[in-house]
Amino acid sequence: MNKVYNYYNSKEIIDNMLDPEYFGKNLWHTPLLFKSQNENDFLIENSGIKNGDNILDFGCGLGGFLDIVTNKYKCNAIGVNISPKQLEIARKNLSNKKIEFIYFWNMISLPNNSIDIVFAQESIVHYDDKKELFNYFYNMLKPKGILIFQDWFLYNKELAVKTDEIYKTFLKPLDLYKDLINKIGFKKYRVYQPENTDIINNNKKELGFTNYIIKCEK
């Protein structure tokens, strides 16, 4: 996890995240995996979220997703991040919002059965021990709680290992996630296939990974 920490705590990455020309045209505001809506809206609409829910964003970045959610719903929101610098910016930029931003290792001390929905976008991939992480999620979720996440999944190992981007360090295939979800004890899950096949096929051929959104119910 040290490589991930150093990468996401670096000035270059944070500057890129603050640049609307870099981030604003990608995941946050425009369709990428889906033709009619962006991933934020897709995750929110398919999570079953309602006013009063306790929600957690794993890998919250600068808090952009939670800003969107809390503009639509009156939720008790927690943002989790491995980067102290990103958390500092998130707290400053969203100081007018009732959002608690916490460092990653503080997440594991959250009470069991306390969270209604866990969101995660392109963050689970970075955690090396997927079983440990999913156990954390399962324990913190209330009965019938939801884990919904969008991430990258290993498609071609040889292609993936040739790249040096930090986010491919812990890539795993979709079948591993399916098996893990069942073994942890989630009652059911659904895999959403992205509609933008051009992006998906290019990622498979050029980078060795593919994209899915998965929704799990405790």
CA distances from 150 to 21, 40, 59, 111, 183 (A): 22, 10, 12, 25, 20
Query: Which of 149, 153, 200 has its CA nearest to residue 40?
Result: 149
Domains and CATH numbers, the chain: 2-217 (3.40.50.150)
CA distances from 109 to 14, 82, 102, 156, 176 (A): 27, 15, 11, 36, 26
- pLDDT tens for each residue of 50-103: 999 999 999 998 898 999 999 999 999 999 998 899 899 899 989 989 899 999
Q: Which amino acid is at 82?
A: I
Query: Is 14 or 147 the better-scoring residue by pLDDT?
Result: 147
Per-residue confidence (pLDDT) for residue 28, from 0 to 100: 47
Query: Is 35 or 141 the better-scoring residue by pLDDT?
Result: 141
Residue 149 has pLDDT above 60, yes or no: yes
Average pLDDT over residues 30-55: 85
The structure's pTM equals 0.89
Radius of gyration of the chain (CA): 16
Q: Which of 126-130, 164-168, 178-182 has the lowest mean pLDDT?
A: 164-168
Buried b (16+ CB within 10 A) or exposed e, 42-72: bbbeebebeeebbbbbbbbbbbbbbbbbbee
- Residue 214, classified by CB atoms within 10 Å of its CB into exposed (0-12), middle (13-18) or buried (19+), is buried
Q: Could you tell me what percent of the chain has a pLDDT over 90?
A: 52
Q: Could you tell me what percent of the chain has a pLDDT over 70?
A: 83
In total, the chain counts a number of residues equal to 218
Is 195 strand, coil or helix?
coil
